[in-house]
């Protein structure tokens, strides 16, 4: 009987930290196993590169951590035999790899993420695949406890050792202790962040916005155990940023929170790349903010590995997933169960998952021990001393897991694409909806044959339409008639936003024509009698070569509706694509 399965790669850890560092990690693992035993959990450690263990489970030996298919197959084989309640991945992506899921929004340079790096496939029983649509029915409770990516110094093993000690010594608290919160948002997204906080905590009084706040906060400000952050982020960056107009001040950085995080904190972060585990030593910057949280004793951190999406006034995508996670944690669920239920609820309530929803589902992952219960509840494993207590706790857990598994199978309504043609058609439609959408209602997939039904394997019967209609009615009742379905939102509510450090690009047909007139007027004649452009009227190629500071001042508004700010800022919009926008309203488009 195994209640908790810890999976790692012994060879990868030895190459990073040497024999001495590996010995320290194994000692810390022994302490965690003993602590779990006192809480009524039977914990077992499995090494993916151990030939005897993997042969017994009829699984491949994973000698190379970046062998994605073998890693997925090995983890699935171990899970099928052990059937644990909790699955913990021990190590960064160079120990236990993320799974590369193809980004359905990939469209460089606007959307540069080729893959949505994810731990979602480990939470699903389906076989290895690059298609996110095959993993919309998660059934497993999964979390990752990461070491430092790219570490080579044996002394750096102390980082993951401290994380294991924190997990071994955790204690559950009353829900009232997680009631106070630290909330930080970009000023441009103050309305949406305030609504989300009201849904989670019942008030928005503690919301701080950047600018005005950050990057340095007092110890009292960071002391609450619940943290909510909705700011910009960037790839390979140890900073988050706020926004007000074209001002993007630093709102939070790794050094500004050093020593200020209270042990036991649970953080939910919507920022782009908020949970990216980059190699800090290789880049030459501080460790990621997410790893700084964990190193200071935070129990859990939910964040995104790539560019995240959302809106500025209404809640969608990242806003919803973060909200569902925190609500489950405050309700007494373990961190892993909270993440699983948040994913399932997201799939269930969105009903029709578009490319943005699929990427959101894949990119958010839990960092931390999935068996930790931050908030004490009646089912929280406090002690196994009483006779029969351990059996009773295990039985209740198994009942909950069976229910979660059935819910996950019910959510698993999207299957792998049957042919490349339908996949290409859907991807092309998603790009058109991001770039060329004129009507806020035209935001779904393009019309495709019924056999592919927007996504191959999606609901194709009349039951799908009935379920979608029922979902609309429920959300309309719950939100006073303002349904959350994007296709039903008014154009006036379509002021959009996304997360990252790239500039918000807005424009109209009138602005487009005005710029063309200016370019024509600024043309001049050189000494040789040939017409030349004035230096101030040069095109995008020349502007891209300028410094970032200059581009901030000279960036012209471009034709975009829904934007995301991750790693594609300051790029001008394509010519000939003006945004047909009513006064005071913005089109609902995906970049």
What does the pLDDT look like over 477-496, one tens digit per residue? 444 433 333 434 443 343 34
Q: What is the pLDDT of residues 158-193, one digit of tens each?
A: 999 999 999 999 999 999 999 999 999 999 999 999
Note the pLDDT tens digit of each residue in 383-398.
444 445 555 555 655 6
Going by C-beta distance under 8 Å and a sequence separation of 6 or more, which residues neighbour residue 519?
533, 537
Mean local confidence (pLDDT), 238-251: 94
Q: Which domains does the chain have, with CATH numbers?
A: 142-146+171-387 (3.40.50.1460)
Q: How far apart are the first and last CA of the chain?
A: 48
Query: Average pLDDT, whole number, for the chain?
Result: 76
Strands 266-269 and 300-304: parallel
Residue-wise pLDDT for 137-154, tens only, equals 999 999 999 999 999 999
Q: How many CB atoms are closer than 10 A to CB 480? A: 7
CA 207/CA 180 separation, integer angstroms: 11
Q: Cα(360)–Cα(339) distance, rounded to whole angstroms?
A: 13
Residue 380: what pLDDT?
A: 52
pLDDT above 90 coverage of the chain, percent: 59
CB 304 within 8 A of CB 363: yes
């Amino acid at each position: 009987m195994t209640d908790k399965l810890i999976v790692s790669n012994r060879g990868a850890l030895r190459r990073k930290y040497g024999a001495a560092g590996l010995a320290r990690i194994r000692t810390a693992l022994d302490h965690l196993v003993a602590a779990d035993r006192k809480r009524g959990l039977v914990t077992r450690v499995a090494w993916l590169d151990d030939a005897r263990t993997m042969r017994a489970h009829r699984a491949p030996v994973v000698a190379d951590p970046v062998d994605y298919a073998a890693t997925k197959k090995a983890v699935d084989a171990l899970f099928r035999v052990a059937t644990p309640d909790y699955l913990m991945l021990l190590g960064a992506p160079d120990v236990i790899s993320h799974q590369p899921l193809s980004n359905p929004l990939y469209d460089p340079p606007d959307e540069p993420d080729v893959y949505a790096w994810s731990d979602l496939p480990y939470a699903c029983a389906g076989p290895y695949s690059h298609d996110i649509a095959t993993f919309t029915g998660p059934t497993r409770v999964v979390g990752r406890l990461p070491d430092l990516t790219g570490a080579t110094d044996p002394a750096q093993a102390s980082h993951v050792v401290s994380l294991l000690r924190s997990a071994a010594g955790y204690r559950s608290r009353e829900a009232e202790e997680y009631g106070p919160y630290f909330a930080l948002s970009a000023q441009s997204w103050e309305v949406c962040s305030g609504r989300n906080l009201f849904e989670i905590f019942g008030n928005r009084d503690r919301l701080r916005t950047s600018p005005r706040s950050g990057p340095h906060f007092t110890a009292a400000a960071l002391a609450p155990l619940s943290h909510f952050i909705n700011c910009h982020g960037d790839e390979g960056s140890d900073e988050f940023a706020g926004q007000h107009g074209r001002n993007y001040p630093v709102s939070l950085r790794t050094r500004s929170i050093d020593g200020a995080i209270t042990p036991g904190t649970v953080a939910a972060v919507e920022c782009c790349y908020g949970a990216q585990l980059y190699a800090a030593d290789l880049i030459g910057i501080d460790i990621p903010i997410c790893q700084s949280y964990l190193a200071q004793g935070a129990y859990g951190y939910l964040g995104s590995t790539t560019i995240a999406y959302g809106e500025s006034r209404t809640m969608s995508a990242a806003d919803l997933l973060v909200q569902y996670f925190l609500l489950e944690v405050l309700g007494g669920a373990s961190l892993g169960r909270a993440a699983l239920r948040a994913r399932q609820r997201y799939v269930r309530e969105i009903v029709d998952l578009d490319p943005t929803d699929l990427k959101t589902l894949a990119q958010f992952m839990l960092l931390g021990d999935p068996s930790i219960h931050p908030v004490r509840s009646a089912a929280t494993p406090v002690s196994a001393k009483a006779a029969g207590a351990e059996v009773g706790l295990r039985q209740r857990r198994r009942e909950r897991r069976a229910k979660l598994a059935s819910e996950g199978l019910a959510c698993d309504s999207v299957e792998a694409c049957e042919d490349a043609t339908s996949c290409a058609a859907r991807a092309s439609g998603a790009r058109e909806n991001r770039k060329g959408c004129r009507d806020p209602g035209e935001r779904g997939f393009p019309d495709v044959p019924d056999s592919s039904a927007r996504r191959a394997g999606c609901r194709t019967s009349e039951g799908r339409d009935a379920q979608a209609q029922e979902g609309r009615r429920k959300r309309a009742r719950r939100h006073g008639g303002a349904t959350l379905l994007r296709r039903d939102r008014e154009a006036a509510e379509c002021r959009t936003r996304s997360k990252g450090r790239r500039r918000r690009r807005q424009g109209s047909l009138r602005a487009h024509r005005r710029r063309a007139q200016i370019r024509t007027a600024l043309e001049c004649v050189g000494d040789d009698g040939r017409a030349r452009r004035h230096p101030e009227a040069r095109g995008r190629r020349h502007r891209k070569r300028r410094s970032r500071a200059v581009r901030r001042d000279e960036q012209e508004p471009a034709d975009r509706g829904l934007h995301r700010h991750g790693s594609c800022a300051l790029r001008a919009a394509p010519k000939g694509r003006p945004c047909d926008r009513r006064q005071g309203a913005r089109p609902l488009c995906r970049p």
